Structure 1
Amino acid sequence: METWFTITASLCLIFLLRAVLSLLSPTTKINNPFPPGPTHIPIITPLIWLTKSLSQIEPILKNLHTKYGPIVTLRIGSRPAIFINDRSLAHQILVQNGSVFSDRPITLPTEKILNSNQHNINSSSYGTTWCTLRRNLTAEMLHPSRVKYFAQTRMWVLDILLKRLKFDIKSSVSIKIVDHFQHAMFALLVFMCFGERVDDKILNDIEKAERSLLVSLKRFNVLNYWPKITKILLRKRWEELLKLRSNQEEVLVPLIRARKEANKSGLCNDNNNPRAYVDTLLDLKLPIEGQRNLDESEIVTLCSEFLSAGTDTTSTALQWIMANLVKYPHIQQRIVDEIKKVMAVSDKEEKEEVREEDLDKLPYLKAVVLESLRRHPPAHFVLPHAVTEDVAFNGYLVPKKGLVNFMVAEIGRDPKVWEDPMTFKPERFLNEDGSRLEGFDITCSKEIKMMPFGAGRRICPAYSLAMLHLEYFVANLVLNFDWKVSNGGDVDLSEKEEFTVVMKTPLEAHISPRI
């Protein structure tokens, strides 16, 4: 009891000293006020916000926006956090003034361990290193010509997914599908990352190391406040963080080294063994750092980013889409009818698979995917943006060390843009006769109507790959199985915040092979 009292008292003293120092620090040359927000009480207010998850803060923010307007400030931790829920302001910031607002906040001590001192795409400062890392990913892995090389891999993963589902049908009345989706997406991304089909044990070891870090991140927030002191008072928690990072390196480094040896032996980079993401990282040089190669720790960080960014978001989006298809059977049947119509006029009338080249002929399927991303974006907030110096925007001060974030879900549900926005209606993305998609720009270059992948210079670089995966797997899931509500119940579409926004009650569905 005395130990915890000492820790609590010490942390309060730390916050008090930081508050005093912030008051004594030089003032900005910009006289504009911070955007409005609730009353800020040093020490107490930051602690209150730090104890809440984003899912708890989101409804509070909705009320604050109603009271104060489209720009609201919260003092989370030691830095002000600005939240914006207006699509026009988001477009001004992210697209029209992208060069000003494309930086990332200064990385915190615990984050430096996990992102190799900002040597990954998500957290890297806006500059040469970020451009180098992002250009490598987009040109070497996400360019359409490169994506095609992994078509056979997607077919292999689809086959695994279908077999797992068919096996579960024999032993269970209903199936919890999100576990199958996560396994499939993770297997696909591990192959794209390391260029080989690893066995289930290695796959499970990688997934365990990645997920252990994700679920523990919130526990380490407190370590960022006066790290010299927390390294003494919270030594075991620091050791836990370092152990999790060590576990991650233990499972990924052998794969990196094996691929390095395969490259030396000339076994990589042909049609049967396409260039993997780790191959591009082994060849990459950082121009701003003397043309040096990435070290192993930095490659681990970038591989981890590749795996984590594409697994949870895509599997979550898949779960939301399938939940709506279970809840609304007529939508599911319309996709099936569209697929069968396309297959009827193809060379092979009895194909067992919707191939990637067929997807452009399925506008209703695409509309269903877009509507799900609008109504149920996998993440309700983008990663925080920052500015390199104090900036005046819309009459307010955006401070150099502040965070700027956007309420993705609220923007995609704006009743001024979307009629009856809470209704799931794919037809809103189609022309009048439903024969083609209306011109909708998912990159938000001209305007923002919804932004499930973000917008501007920091938009998710893999948005086109994500759309391909969603369309491909949804099409084949409804082609092979009839999806129905489990045990005559209903589908709970309410949301729960985890790493991405998932359903409070994970979807369990009764599925049966289509005849």
Structure 2
Amino acid sequence: MYIAIYNLQINNHIATPFKETTMPFSVFLLLAPLFLFFLIRIYFKPNKNLPPGPRPWPVIGNLHQVGKNPHVSTAILAQQHGPLITLHLGTQVLIVASSPEAAMVILKSQDRFLSSRFVPNAFHSHYLPYTLIWSLDCDENWRSLRTLCRTEMFSVKALETQSSLREEKLAQMIEFLCSKKGQVVNIEEVVFTTMINTLSNIFFGKDFLDLKDKHGIASGLKEKLFKILSSGVAPNVSDFFPVLQRLDLQGLRKQTLRHINEVLKSWDDIINERRSAAIAKEEQCFVDHLIKDGFSNDRINILALELFTAGTDTTTSTIEWAMAELIKNKEVMYKVQQELKHKINSNTIIESEISKLPYLNACIKETLRLHPPAPLLLPHRAIQTCEVMKYTIPRGAQILVNIWAIGRDPKLWEDPLTFKPERFLGTSLDFRGQDFEFIPFGAGGRRMCPGLPIGINSIQSILASLILRFDWVLPDDQDPVKLDMNEKFGVTLQKEKPLQLIFEIIN
């Protein structure tokens, strides 16, 4: 049975109630009339032709069935109720799609009705009108930001212009690692720092971190970004009962805004410095272009924040998962090493050579199938009532696409829990979001990830560089077969235990 396959995967991830959402009993008593009203709405308000799903409990709905790993729990519920299910989170309706057919309708066919963004209450602030990722609607501001980023940062021309910079940061990473021979290396930290410095140079024209001493103008930036994401997406009673939003009972909105302001202070002086020099100097980095276009500091700040959060966590987690799978699967690692040995003519990866590495790219695709960085993508909201697979999606419903479940569906993938890159060789399945059984970055609708080109490019070149120059093993002669592969759910799907390795330099 398919459910049994899932149970193999979630040994230590059984869905448990959201303990964080439990409110003090006295608060519930004070708000009893409101909850009674919500109860009546859930059980007596007609919702015709909703997708099937488990019966909700009074007041909390299905919150107790979601748990700390919603990508796993909703996948199991989909096996019981179908590829399109309805859950009630408090008074909110949540629709979860877990099949390529349902994903295609939501992300493509009905995209114009379902492309609004569900924004967690913790992210509601005076910065919200300036956001690209969390823009409520695909309005004029969203379109102009998306066009600007695609043209100036993620186009083929822009990527070619940035190639020497990315190669320079790769060389610095390799040089740093060579100094760590025989020492335990935290792969996540090295990759994260490399990505931060690459993006900070593209955006601001300077490094933020130092690989060697970890002191820079953004020391602790990783922790600050993590706090924004963790508080922003933490289970929040204000999201489940919107009438309570203004109260911010758990203080998550205030906490998230404080973390955001702490991060923005990291580069405030740089923006002002670039603004002062803008008249006298030619454009040297992306922030110069934004200043020239009349962007305020708030608009620049939020765009930079979104670039760093979206462009570092996803890339870092994907590379860490890929390295973990390669360490665990020695034969696959050997094939990648042989491909690099025979097709790369130097000790340095040149981006133009990536296309010569079909097996490496198959490994990356297989990693993204098993460990998609955003297992539920980002939440959509229905702009108006529409139909999906003959079911009614009500206006205002939150919508998630469980690409983690799609990537492990045995109806789509043979032996789905096995890391088998060969399944991608000789196929046309690609990252670009056209094949709905494999959409690790979403599909080609309005909300498709605009940074896909630079993200894939970074994953390919960093992973290839790590394998080309170094022979990696687990410390203390640990058995790779027993490597801990448990997940930690968040905005990105991370390894619960960071991957730590040692290496020998390959001459």
Give the SS at the match of 2:216.
Answer: helix
What are the residue-to-residue correspondences of 1:374-393 with 2, within 5 Å?
374-393=369-388
Give the SS at the match of 1:168.
Answer: coil
Q: Is 1:37 matched up with 2:26? A: no
Give the SS at the match of 1:201.
Answer: coil
| Counterparts in 2 of 1:240 and 1:122: CA distance versus 1, 3 Å | closer
Q: What is the aligned counterpart of 2:188 among 149, 164, 178?
A: 178
Of stretches 206-215 and 34-43 in structure 1, the one that deviates more from structure 2 is 206-215
Q: Which residue matches 1:126? A: 138
CA contact (8 A) 1:121 1:134 kept: no
Q: Which residue matches 1:434? A: none
CA contact (8 A) 2:318 2:368 kept: yes
Give the SS at the match of 1:416.
Answer: coil
Give the SS at the match of 2:218.
Answer: helix
Q: What is the aligned counterpart of 1:194 among 183, 189, 204?
A: 204
Instruction: State the Cα distance separating 1:253 from its structure 2 match.
Output: 2.4
Distance 2:88 2:291 in 1: 41
Of stretches 321-330 and 91-100 in structure 1, the one that deviates more from structure 2 is 91-100
Instruction: State the Cα distance separating 1:146 from its structure 2 match.
Output: 0.5
Of stretches 255-264 and 466-475 in structure 1, the one that deviates more from structure 2 is 255-264
* TM-score using structure 2 length: 0.85
Q: Is 1:257 matched up with 2:259? A: no
Give the SS at the match of 1:512.
Answer: strand
Distance 2:28 2:158 in 1: 53
Aligned-pair Cα RMSD in Å = 2.7
Q: Which residue matches 2:113? A: 100
Give the SS at the match of 2:236.
Answer: helix
Q: Is 1:248 matched up with 2:263? A: yes
CA shift digits 1:1-20 (9 cap, x unpaired): xx955434335544334455
Give the SS at the match of 1:45.
Answer: coil
Distance 1:411 1:163 in 2: 40
CA contact (8 A) 2:102 2:388 kept: no
Q: Percent identity, aligned pairs only?
A: 27
| Counterparts in 2 of 1:184 and 1:228: CA distance versus 1, 3 Å | closer
CA shift digits 1:465-495 (9 cap, x unpaired): 1111111011111111001233222222232
Give the SS at the match of 2:116.
Answer: coil
What are the residue-to-residue correspondences of 1:39-438 with 2, within 5 Å?
39-45=55-61, 48=64, 52-53=67-68, 55=69, 57-105=70-118, 107=119, 109-113=121-125, 115-117=127-129, 119-170=131-182, 172=183, 174-198=184-208, 200-218=215-233, 221-223=236-238, 225-227=242-244, 230=247, 239-269=254-284, 275-276=285-286, 278-284=287-293, 293-344=294-345, 351-431=346-426, 438=427
Of stretches 489-498 and 71-80 in structure 1, the one that deviates more from structure 2 is 489-498
Amino acid at match of 1:44: I
| Counterparts in 2 of 1:63 and 1:205: CA distance versus 1, 3 Å | closer
CA shift digits 1:225-275 (9 cap, x unpaired): 4457625x66x6655344223323322322222222232221433xxxxx3
Instruction: State the Cα distance separating 1:73 from its structure 2 match.
Output: 0.9
* TM-score using structure 1 length: 0.84
Instruction: State the Cα distance separating 1:443 from its structure 2 match.
Output: 2.1
Q: Which residue matches 2:459? A: 470
Give the SS at the match of 1:405.
Answer: strand
Give the SS at the match of 2:502.
Answer: strand
| Counterparts in 2 of 1:239 and 1:394: CA distance versus 1, 3 Å | closer
| Counterparts in 2 of 1:413 and 1:360: CA distance versus 1, 3 Å | same
Q: Which residue matches 1:450? A: 438
| Counterparts in 2 of 1:11 and 1:176: CA distance versus 1, 3 Å | farther
Give the SS at the match of 2:408.
Answer: coil
CA shift digits 1:377-435 (9 cap, x unpaired): 1121111122211112222210111011111111122323322222211122223xxxx
Instruction: State the Cα distance separating 1:455 from its structure 2 match.
Output: 0.7
Distance 2:485 2:253 in 1: 38
Distance 2:362 2:98 in 1: 24
Instruction: State the Cα distance separating 1:156 from its structure 2 match.
Output: 2.6
Q: Which residue matches 1:501? A: 493
**Where does the alignment leave 5 or more consecutive residues of structure 2 unmatched?**
1-22, 210-214
Instruction: State the Cα distance separating 1:307 from its structure 2 match.
Output: 0.4
CA contact (8 A) 1:371 1:426 kept: yes
**Where does the alignment leave 5 or more consecutive residues of structure 1 unmatched?**
270-274, 285-292, 345-350, 432-437
CA contact (8 A) 2:429 2:438 kept: no
CA contact (8 A) 1:118 1:124 kept: no
Amino acid at match of 1:183: T
Give the SS at the match of 1:72.
Answer: strand
Distance 2:149 2:110 in 1: 24
Instruction: State the Cα distance separating 1:202 from its structure 2 match.
Output: 0.9
Distance 1:178 1:507 in 2: 7
Give the SS at the match of 1:392.
Answer: strand
Distance 1:493 1:358 in 2: 31
CA contact (8 A) 1:32 1:392 kept: no
Distance 1:227 1:163 in 2: 53
Give the SS at the match of 1:309.
Answer: helix
Amino acid at match of 1:325: L
Instruction: State the Cα distance separating 1:331 from its structure 2 match.
Output: 2.0
Amino acid at match of 2:105: Q
Distance 1:228 1:387 in 2: 20
Give the SS at the match of 1:397.
Answer: strand
CA contact (8 A) 2:231 2:255 kept: no
CA contact (8 A) 1:380 1:408 kept: yes
CA contact (8 A) 2:264 2:301 kept: yes
Q: Which residue matches 1:290? A: none
CA contact (8 A) 1:136 1:280 kept: no
| Counterparts in 2 of 1:9 and 1:95: CA distance versus 1, 3 Å | same
